[in-house]
Homo-oligomer: A and B are copies of this chain.
Amino acid sequence: MPNPTAAMLVIGDEILSGRTRDANMYFLAGELTKQGIALAEVRIVGDESEDIIAAVRALSARYDTVFTSGGIGPTHDDITADCIAAAFERHIDVRDDARALLAAHYKNTGSELNDARLRMARIPDGATLIENPVSVAPGFTLENVHVMAGVPSVFQAMVATVLPTMTGGAPLLSQSLRIDRGEGDIAGPLSELAATYPDLSIGSYPFQKNGAFGSNIVIRGTDGSRIDAAISDLSELFA
């Protein structure tokens, strides 16, 4: 059985402007790989309704699961929840269960549950809430889309809530071998190795250090003994 597929949609101008370096995609990619879920595509779009809606529809239709990051706070540029509702043609409004979470939290902390904060209780009809142990305002799951916060500590906490509920395939294993030769010297034999192990993914990631060229060869698959065998063959090829 092939591994389940996932996509990620990062929403926010701050990544596109170069102001912020993405952390959530890198984190999610690693977590999904451990779980045996293949992250197959990532898109990053700005705070524009049409772009968000189009991307959600395209990714949701194509992949088993979609994760979104960003745009669910209380400010005017936080439009993700409304866009997810629009993408699936659902009604959206402040929902009682989400409002109750926020009301209890702000009562405890002595802050006012004002109109801006109430925006964070806007949840599309039919969605399931995702717990936010860091700052309470929930994420939600609608159809096959998990909608999560952009703040990395909150995003990571939400991923920790959602991932155990997902059924992964066999974990994707990998081994790598560093070869201190230019890719051009190893590409031919490497291509033959890849043909010998069609069940494995063999990638070559070149680097340059102190003026010398080399490449990290990464072999991925779900059968550890096959990976062992391929790494052994690889070592002999370039011993």
Q: Which A residues contact B (CB, under 8 angstroms)?
A: 12-22, 25-33, 38-47, 51, 73-77, 106, 111-112, 114-117, 119-120, 134-135, 151, 153-154, 172, 174, 182-188, 190-191, 194, 201-208, 213, 218, 220
Contact = CB atoms under 8 A, between A and B. Distances in A.
A74 B184 contact: yes
Nearest to A26: B21
A200 to B, nearest CB: 12
A19 B32 CA distance: 12
Given A29-B18, A46-B40, A205-B20, A117 B184 contact: yes
Contact of A201 (B13, B18, B42): B13
A14 B76 contact: no
Given A19-B174, A75-B191, A184-B74, A13 B203 contact: yes
**How many copies altogether?**
2
A72 to B, nearest CB: 11
Contacts of A43: 41-44
A151 B208 contact: yes
A198 B232 CA distance: 62
Contact of A29 (B17, B29, B47, B112): B17
Contacts of A15: 29, 42
Given A75-B204, A77-B194, A116-B184, 15 more contacts: A14-B205, A15-B29, A17-B172, A18-B27, A22-B26, A40-B46, A41-B43, A43-B43, A43-B44, A76-B187, A77-B203, A111-B185, A114-B185, A135-B213, A154-B208
Contact of A32 (B18, B42, B183, B201): B18
